[in-house]
Amino acid sequence: MKKLTMEEWEKKYIAGNVGRFDQKNIMFARPDWDEELKARLDDWFMGAKVGYDQLGWSIEERALSTAQVPLRGLMGLASHRKPNPSRQTKAFMKAMADLKPQMPGGAKKPPEDAKIDASDPQRTSSILKKVATYYGADLVGICRLDRRWVYSDSYDYNPYLAGTTEKPIGLSTPQEIPEEFQYAIVMAFEMDYDLLQYVGSAVYGAATGFGYSRMAITNSYLSEYITNIGFKVINCTTNDVALTIPMAMQAGLGDVGRNGLLVTPEFGPRVRLSKVITNLPLEVDSPIEFGVTEFCVACEKCADHCPSDSIISGDRISEPLNASNVGGELKWPVNCETCRMYWSTSKKGGCNLCISSCPYNKVNTWPHKIVRWVAENAPWMDKLLVLGDDMLGYGKPRSTKNFWNEWKPKRR
Ligand code: SF4
Ligand code: SF4
């Protein structure tokens, strides 16, 4: 694995002016306000419209996916350390303040003005990575906060505010991060390899959902930890405040693939990403390179498997395909519009074929490490490796017929 300098990274990925992205243009926000887009498809419903008698959609299978949602929702609501907290978060924090709940363990908390000696960023970073790992992150990296990735405006989705007769509307607010915030801790959370094979059922959604739940918990704990040692944080739960993939690349967690996702050496694209921004002085990591760009040129499996033709074949480009892409970056932009439309028309609440079909999506065992080593060091073998991946049957969706007998969940 090669470490890149920031200059080398810039040269490889930046091909023009990268304008700051407006959060209202992320694909999940656009149906809120983009009438032209909405007119192209009348059903923007995100959830599943599949009968309980369908294979993979029984009560038990749905429950596995949805059991984690309420607590995650609460964690999201409590995520107030942002430049522009949502209206629901403000209402929630006000209710909590009115309630004045007694927090157990409060007596052990350092006093308000306690502050560590942060004059050794190397030591602080090493401790912080241990803390983030202990709180649940599978990979942790640190980068300088590159303000090109910070959303120009935050977007507060249409709220569901109880007791109001007003028509809820989404709200855009200009977003700036004070200069003192110079660093970001970027974390990756592995999603369950087995569950993601059952694409097209309720079961795979449990892996995605649990990734979000773990992100919310770890972000919250890490933010509280940093506050307790006397520094400030911006808790970016969930996918808020800034674009995470370029930050994860700069923090040395992986490289971007044709599928538009971060491909990590350990888990491929089978991760969810989060970040905490801080004014705590830290030592940054270097971006890495391990053959992903060359392999993606030879591979195209995600493009072939994508049911909505949202992933392009051929070379990387720097022009955006639509408002939901960022221009100026040299990559394979994904057509999020056609992807999201497919999520609605398929009536199954989502899709992850671009993760499960990727040859980098393997368990992190030595045979797969050897294959990754070959991909990195002998790129002329890439096409053969893709062929081998196909011949061994990797990337095909699995039937949930025997799911509860087959599944051996990993202990965390
Ligand atoms: S989620 Fe599915 S539809 Fe969307 S880009 Fe990935 S493979 Fe294509
Ligand atoms: S499936 Fe192939 S082309 Fe797509 S991201 Fe993975 S390695 Fe790259």
Closest ligand 2 atom number to CA of residue 258: 5
Residue 166 within any structural domain of the chain: no
Q: How far is CA 249 from the centre of its chain?
A: 12
385 close to ligand 2 (CB < 6 Angstrom)? no
Question: Measured from the CB, is residue 311 less than 6 Å from ligand 1?
Answer: yes
pLDDT digits (tens, 9 = 90+) for 226-245: 999 999 999 998 889 999 99
Closest CA to 146 of 328, 337, 18: 18
246 belongs to a structural domain = yes
- Distance in Å, CA 99 to ligand 1 centroid: 44
| Token pair of 65 as six digits | 């996916």
Indicate if ligand 1 lies below 6 Å from the C-beta of 196: no
Tokens of 290: 């391990």
**Pocket lining: 308 vs ligand 1, CB cutoff 6 Å:** yes
Question: In this structure, what DSSP letter does residue 237 have?
Answer: T
Residue nearest to atom 6 of ligand 2 (CA): 358
Rounded average pLDDT per 10-residue block, the chain, 412 residues? 97 94 94 88 80 91 90 87 91 87 71 90 98 98 98 86 64 95 98 92 90 94 96 93 98 98 97 98 98 96 96 96 95 96 86 95 91 93 94 91 92 72
Are 23 and 29 contacting, i.e. CB atoms less than 8 angstroms apart?
yes
- How many structural domains compose the chain? 1
d(CA 323, CA 334): 11
Is 121 part of any domain? yes
336 lines ligand 1 (CB under 6 A): no
Exposure class string for 10-33: b at 16+ Cβ within 10 A, else e: eebbebeebebbbbbbbbebbbbb
Q: Which domain holds residue 230?
A: 2-82+110-153+171-406
Q: Is residue 321 part of a domain?
A: yes
Strand 233-235 and strand 183-190: the pairing is: unpaired
* 281, part of any domain: yes
Q: Tell me, what's the pLDDT at 159?
A: 67
d(C-alpha 356, C-alpha 352), whole Å: 6
Map residue 229 onto helix, strand or coil: coil
Report how far residue 358's alpha carbon sits from residue 260's, in angstroms, rounded to the nearest whole number. Answer: 12
Considering the domain boundaries, does residue 116 fall inside one? Answer: yes
Q: Which atom of ligand 1 is nearest to the CA of 311?
A: 5
Question: pLDDT tens-digit profile of 33-46?
Answer: 898 998 888 777 77
How far apart are alpha carbons 385 and 345 in whole angstroms?
A: 34
Domain membership of residue 149 (yes or no) is: yes
Give pLDDT, residue 183. 98
Answering whether pTM is above 0.85, one says yes
What is the token pair recorded at 347?
């009536």
Q: Is residue 99 part of a domain?
A: no
Task: Identify whether the C-beta of residue 184 lies closer than 8 Å to the C-beta of residue 132.
Answer: no
Q: Is the CB of 353 under 6 A from ligand 2?
A: no
Q: How far is the CA of 339 from the centre of ligand 1 (A)?
A: 5
